[in-house]
Chain A
Amino acid sequence: MSDRNFDPDSTRETARVDVPVLADAYERLEELVTGAGAYLDSSGASKEMAEAFTPYHLLLRNAVVESRQNYEGLGPALERIAEDDELAEAEIVEAMNTLADGTESTFAADGYTPMAEGQHGDSLEAAPSEFDGQLGSGSAAREEGTAR
């Protein structure tokens, strides 16, 4: 055990109270941002505006979706850490890294890179919409990495 001044109770409270509030809020925002782009493949914007607007909209949509995903994953991760406050420091780092890997892989899979001028955005269908599987694998990896 390191000298982290670790407080399992406050960690657990944050995991159970604060993080779910964020996750729920971002779930609602995800619905709104997805719905807002309903016409962007057709008549939702002028052709001049669409070239800039659609990638920017997709940026927000991806950010919201992935934030929701990470907040949903953060709660269980903090609970797990709180459950065992004697985890080795390196193991916690590994757990946090594993949690982030799911999102990082999503960026790569969607070609989620900065847009150059004149470059077109991905199709709206390319926006991530399902991360449960990745989260599940991340949790499994954490459990495996933190088993004593």
Chain B
Amino acid sequence: MSFWDEVAETAEGLVTDPVGTISDRVDDAGEAVDHVRDEFQEEFLEPETGTITPAPPQPGGPYDPTGVPTKSEILAFVETFEPSVRDAMTREAAKELYPGWETYIDMSKDEWEDHKSGVGDNVTVGGEGYGAETITTFKWYDGPEIVLPTVDGMNYYQGYAPMGPDPDSVIGDIELAGQERAKMLVESLRDACDTALEFDDLEGMFHTARAHSDLYAAFDAAQNDLSAALAGIEALGQNWEGDDAEVFREQYSEAVRGALQRHIAIALNLARGADSDLGVQLGLHFAVAGALRNGQARIDELSVRRLFGDQTISVLTTTGLVTSTVGLVPGLGTAAASTIGLLGLLSTAGGIAGVDVTLNPKTELIPSAEKVREVMTTMAEGVVQAAEEAAGFRSEAASQLRDLGGDHMTDIGTVNLVPGSGY
């Protein structure tokens, strides 16, 4: 397996493995770049100034950009965070105006519907409920999708929480504040990704790596293909005597094979340099994409409350309970109905004829602004850190290539590089 393959495989593992926190993911990203560095050093530290011994990068197959998250794809992915961030930021802005009402302001649509139906967190069939009282003391605003206390509600609960402004008069400001705060967080992450991923696409780097690998392969093949011709030129002039013979031998007979060897060495160094450059860049692309995916997973985790874990569902499936149906209590929201349905199944072991049961019912939640900020900030910091490390490794690779190239640069103007040019 080539160096490039190993880098790609490691990086792909970051994307396909959804387990771990954002911090873990950023650590993984660092490990991916570390892997790039380790492999790079292992393969690259042995300078190629003469003959070729190690296995070269293979042309063709490995250089396939399919599946590599491009910069444009990653930037587009960043935009998908906006709705979740906006919901959290809207609530953050609202709570600043209505301290003391956090429990209601934090509610999602699902939670609000459940609350109105009286099922809330402690679900029971025919539960206590808040019904009409809730409807008059709180209001759901469809635009910013948030619950706020009504003026009547604040008056009703006077003493429990301070009065705030008339929600109808500030709801627009709350919505706008949520949008602006979300925009700042998303832009910060987008800027980090934009800076980290230098190029609009990877076409140029893929071409350079692939073409130099092909070039090295061609040189390597030429070594054999030209064997007879080289031998013919080497043999010529060996019996000549005099100054002219000496000139021919120095310029051609004794130079052609050595020059070819140096050309091959340069081609291999270039192929490895391009390979390393591409590998670090791909590692960075995969690491950034992985960090974003993990951030998304983290926000998703915070956005859902599931009633049953996988084990419970497994038990239900095994017993056949989930294939049964139960009666639907009129007036309940979907999540509440599903919840009641499964609880009913558990208690009646067969249920009552009615609606289909939803597997693993869940309630959509709005993550706290604090958590969302933490996720967004961690992602942005991780992206910046990964980019800095990648730049460091690329500089290290470039430095070593420059050192190797220096050995050949000193051959400029000599037959070591161009037979016939030694004087």
Contact = CB atoms under 8 A, between A and B. Distances in A.
Given A29-B218, A39-B207, A70 B226 contact: no
Given A48-B398, A53-B401, A107-B413, A70 B244 contact: no
B422 A100 contact: yes
Q: Which label, helix, strand, loop or mixed, suits the secondary structure of the A interface?
A: helix
Most buried by B among A35, A42, A92: A92
Given A25-B226, A47-B198, A53 B277 contact: yes
A4 B212 CA distance: 44
Contacts of B205: 39, 43-46
Contacts of B267: 33, 60
A132 to B, nearest CB: 16
B297 interface: no
A40 B201 CA distance: 14
Main secondary structure of the interface of B (DSSP, over half): helix
A25 B200 contact: no
A70 B422 CA distance: 12
B236 to A, nearest CB: 5
B274 A45 contact: yes
Interface residues of B, number: 75
A104 B413 contact: yes
A50 B274 CA distance: 9
B204 A22 contact: no
Contact of B402 (A52, A57, A104): A52
A74 interface: yes
Contacts of A11: 236
Contacts of A28: 218
B421 A66 contact: yes
Contacts of A112: 412-413
B215 interface: yes
A133 interface: no
Contacts of B273: 49, 52-53, 56
Interface in B388-423: 391, 394-395, 397-399, 401-402, 404-406, 408-410, 412-413, 417-423
B302 interface: no
A36 B248 contact: no
A73 B239 CA distance: 22
Contact of B420 (A3, A57, A89, A100): A100
Contact of A4 (B225, B226, B244): B244
B252 A74 contact: yes
Interface string B188-215: 0000000000111111110110011011
Nearest to A29: B218
B263 A63 contact: yes
Nearest 5 A/B pairs, CB to CB: A43-B204, A18-B232, A39-B204, A36-B211, A92-B244
